[in-house]
Structure formats: structure tokens, C-alpha cells
Amino acid sequence: MSPTQPTRELKKGSAELLILSLVDDQARHGYDIARLIEARSGGDLTFHAASLYPLLYRLEARRWIDGRWSVKPGQRRRRLYRITAAGRKVLAERRSGWAAFVRAINRVTGGGRA
């Protein structure tokens, strides 16, 4: 793994934040979420199906996101996920928590100029 690619621990911890933020503005299906993460992170973050969907199910069980099947004629049915009110609250908390965390780390390590 290259030094700039995040470690597995960091990924797991921030995965929920990533997913929540992506379903905040519109409902998306799993592949969409994975593709967006990959694209927007410039390839630094990737999620395989085997890791992504379990995360989605957990978030769904906690009622932070809401999953619904959507059927288009002639196509396979897909599950679309959107954020819930509770999820929005968690997202806001995590965002500010994450930002604070990053600031703190940078201050301590003195390297924010990446």
C-alpha cells in the first residue's frame, strides 16, 4: 500500500461518514455509491461489494439510511438508499467530529501542507 493510501482502520472508521454524505443529497444505489467514492477520492478509496453492502445494511438497521427497491421495466430491480432524519443528525455530528479530529492531528504532527 502506498503511503498516501488510507489504511484499513481509517477506512472502516470513516466509511459511515462517507456513505451518509453521499446519500444526503439524493437516493443512490450501492454501485453508485462505490463509484462516487472511487471517483471523488481519485482512486484512493475503494470499496468492494463484499464490504460495502454489509455497511449499508448496518446503517439501515440503525435507521440512519432507508433502503427501498426500485423497479424499472426491463431492468433488474435495484435498492436505493436515502438518508433519514436521524441519519442527517449523525452525519452532521460525524462531519464536525472528523474535521476537529483532522485539525487536531495536523496541529500535533505539524503537517497540513499535503
Partner 1 sequence: MPDWRPEIRRRLASLELPPSRVADLTDELAAHLDDRYRDRLASGEAPDAAERAALVELRDHEVFEREYRWAIDDERRGLTRIVSVVSGLTADLRHAVRALARRPAQTLLVVLTLGAGMAAATTVYAVVDGVVLRPLPYPEADRLVMVGLIYPEQAWRADAPDVQALYGASAADAFDWQAQARAFEDLVPVEQRTLLLPDRGHGPELVDSASVGEGFLELFGATPIFGRSFVPIDFDVASDPVMLISHATWMHRYGGALDAVGRQEAGRTIIGVLEPGFRMPDAVVSRPVEFWGPLRPEDARYEPRGRRSVAVVGRLREGVTLDAARDDIAGVQVRIAEAFPGDYTTPDGRRLSAGVNRLQAQTVGAAARPLYIFLGAALLLFGIACVNAINLLLLRGLDRRGELAVRRALGADRIRLLRGLLVESVSLAAGGGVVGTLLAYGGVELFRWLGPTSVPRLGEVAIDGRVLLASAVVSMGAGVLVGLVPAMRATGRAATSVSFGGEAGFTGAAASGNRLRSTLVGVQVALATVLAVGAGLLFASFVRIQSRDVGFDPERLSAFTMPVKVEGRVSSEQVWDALLAEVRRVPGLDAVAGASDVPYYATTWRPGVGVEGAEPGPILGGYAGFVVTPAYFNAIGARIVDGRGFSTADRAETQPVAIVNATFVRRFFPHRRPVGAPIELETGEGRTDAVIIGVVADIVERRVEDGVRPAVYLPHTQQPWLIGPTVVVRSAREPATLFPELRQAAARFDARLPVLDLSSFDDRADRRLVEPRFRAVLFGAFAAVSLTLAAVGLYSSLAHSVGRRRKELGIRMALGADPRRLFGMVLRQGATVSSLGLVAGLAGAFALTRLLEAFLYGVTAADPITFGVSAVVLLAVSLLAAATPARRAGRTDVAHSLRN
Among 1, 7, 9, 77, binds partner 1 (CB under 8 A): 77
**Given candidates 18, 19, 22, 34, which one binds partner 1 under the rule CB under 8 A?**
34
CA torsion 106→25→19→37, rounded to 10°? -80
Can residue 54 be called a binding residue for partner 1 (CB under 8 A)? Answer: yes
Decide: 65 and 20 in contact? Cβ < 8 Å. yes
Point out which span in 20-28, 74-82, 92-100, 102-110 binds partner 1 (CB under 8 A). Answer: 74-82
Sheet with 78-83: list strands edge to edge: 28-29, 78-83, 65-70
Residue 112 in grid coordinates: 497540513
Give residues in contact with partner 1 (CB under 8 A).
29-31, 34-35, 48-51, 53-55, 57-58, 61, 76-79
